[in-house]
């Protein structure tokens, strides 16, 4: 219940950066990381972890030599992550500064990026800056995973985002429907060519 109240509060304060009135479901969190092998010495970055639903799923799958960095603009959410997921390095900042945050955390590379950011509701300049940052750190073979709600999937902004990301990473995304979420969502995954 606390997570729901925290998300609702963030949405009321800043609907363009929150993008949701309730935390994602555990089913969506599992689907977001289902195709990732986190058992080895991988480096994972989560953008916009919010209340940490995806973060907890990532942390539970991390092998002993894997590391995860979570970046959120809300200091309250970052403080929660410090308490709930001690294996995860959580920092308060902008996803557009991904490269600087990864370097500061001692990441020599980024293998997987998982995003809960509401790209369809962010200002175009912010979305562009975040996508530039993702492309700057993601090597060939690296993955980027995000989701779009079913009701927003056909919107012009959502389609433009998918086209832009596909052009930047050199291939189209995989797509999986998760019905056990409010609202239902598509998980989209790109592997950089």
At 55-102, the pLDDT tens digits run 999 999 999 999 999 999 999 999 999 999 999 999 999 999 999 999
pLDDT tier for residue 9 given thresholds of 50, 70 and 90: low
- Continuous segment of H or E residues that includes residue 67: strand 67-72
Q: What is the pTM of this model?
A: 0.89
β-bridge partners, 185? 149, 178
* The CATH number of domain 26-191 is 3.40.50.150: yes
Residue range 156-162: mean pLDDT, rounded: 95
Domain ranges for the chain: 26-191
What is the sign, positive or negative, of the torsion defined by CA atoms of 127, 133, 135, 137? negative
Total residue length of the chain: 193
Q: Which of 14-18, 126-130, 145-149 has the lowest mean pLDDT?
A: 14-18
What is the sign, positive or negative, of the torsion defined by CA atoms of 180, 181, 184, 187? negative
């Amino acid at each position: 219940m606390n997570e729901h109240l925290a998300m609702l509060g963030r949405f009321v304060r800043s609907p363009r950066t929150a993008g949701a009135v309730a935390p994602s479901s555990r089913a969506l969190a599992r689907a977001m990381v289902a195709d990732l092998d986190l058992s080895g010495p991988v480096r994972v970055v989560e953008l916009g972890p919010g209340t940490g639903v995806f973060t907890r799923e990532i942390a539970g799958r991390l092998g002993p030599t894997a590391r995860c960095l979570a970046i959120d603009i809300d200091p309250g959410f970052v403080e929660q992550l410090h308490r709930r997921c001690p294996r995860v390095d959580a920092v308060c900042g902008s996803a557009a500064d991904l490269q600087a945050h990864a370097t500061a955390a001692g990441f020599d590379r980024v293998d997987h990026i998982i995003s809960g950011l509401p790209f369809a509701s962010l200002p175009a300049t912010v979305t562009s800056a975040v996508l530039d940052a993702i492309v700057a750190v993601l090597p060939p073979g690296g993955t980027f995973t995000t989701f779009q709600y079913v009701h927003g999937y056909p919107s012009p902004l959502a389609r433009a985002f998918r086209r832009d990301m596909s052009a930047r990473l050199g291939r189209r995304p995989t797509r999986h429907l998760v019905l056990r979420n409010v609202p239902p969502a598509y998980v989209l995954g790109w592997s950089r060519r």
